[in-house]
Amino acid sequence: MTMERLLYISESGLEPSKATPSVSQIIADAQVRNSHLAVTGALLFTGTHFAQILEGPRESIAQLMSSIQDDSRHGNIVIVDHSPIEARRFPDWKMAYRGPSQFVSRHVVRLLHSTSQSEQRRATEWLTELAHEFSTARIPKRLPTDAS
């Protein structure tokens, strides 16, 4: 079975006042669906963009991307990395997520506007590493709510 990693960035189509519960629902749905598709990964949300890393069988990644492209919560999807892998970066996460992050926003925008392959590769590696660090941080495993 050929394993792949795909990193895409999309513009959020979420209404800002409903972003927290909407992202919580995206994560809940993704964790169930990804489990059935043998996909792991991580999601970063900046408030205006999603950056998502998906890892798994080629067919599963293609199926998820087709669904994401048809999802009105995502617009202007840009695939910034799509490559074969030998090992997963997020083996224990059906979909890692730690809450919205303005910190990564400038890096997501930088990746979208990178002009050279080496610049894009560095930004892709950095974003993947950041997502991995977020996924391994010792933070309570609950999703944010509007009350918190």
Q: 80 is written with which tokens?
A: 């910034």
- The pLDDT value recorded for residue 140 is 38
Residue 75 has pLDDT above 90, yes or no: yes
- The pLDDT value recorded for residue 120 is 79
Name, in order, each residue with C-beta under 8 angstroms of 129's C-beta and a sequence gap of 6 or more.
none
Q: What is the percent of the chain with per-residue pLDDT over 90, rounded to a whole number? A: 45
Structural domain contains residue 103: yes
Q: What is the domain range of residue 70?
A: 3-136
C-beta of residue 22 within 8 angstroms of C-beta of residue 146: no
Q: How far apart are CA 35 and CA 41, in angstroms?
A: 11
* The length of the chain, given as a count of residues: 148
Torsion sign, CA atoms 106, 107, 112, 114: positive
**Number of domains within the chain:** 1
Structural domain contains residue 94: yes
Task: Read off the CATH number of the domain in which 27 is found.
Answer: 3.30.70.100
Residue type, 42: A
Q: How far apart are CA 92 and CA 88, in angstroms?
A: 9
The structure's pTM equals 0.78
- The pLDDT value recorded for residue 69 is 96
Structural domain contains residue 37: yes
Structural domain contains residue 148: no
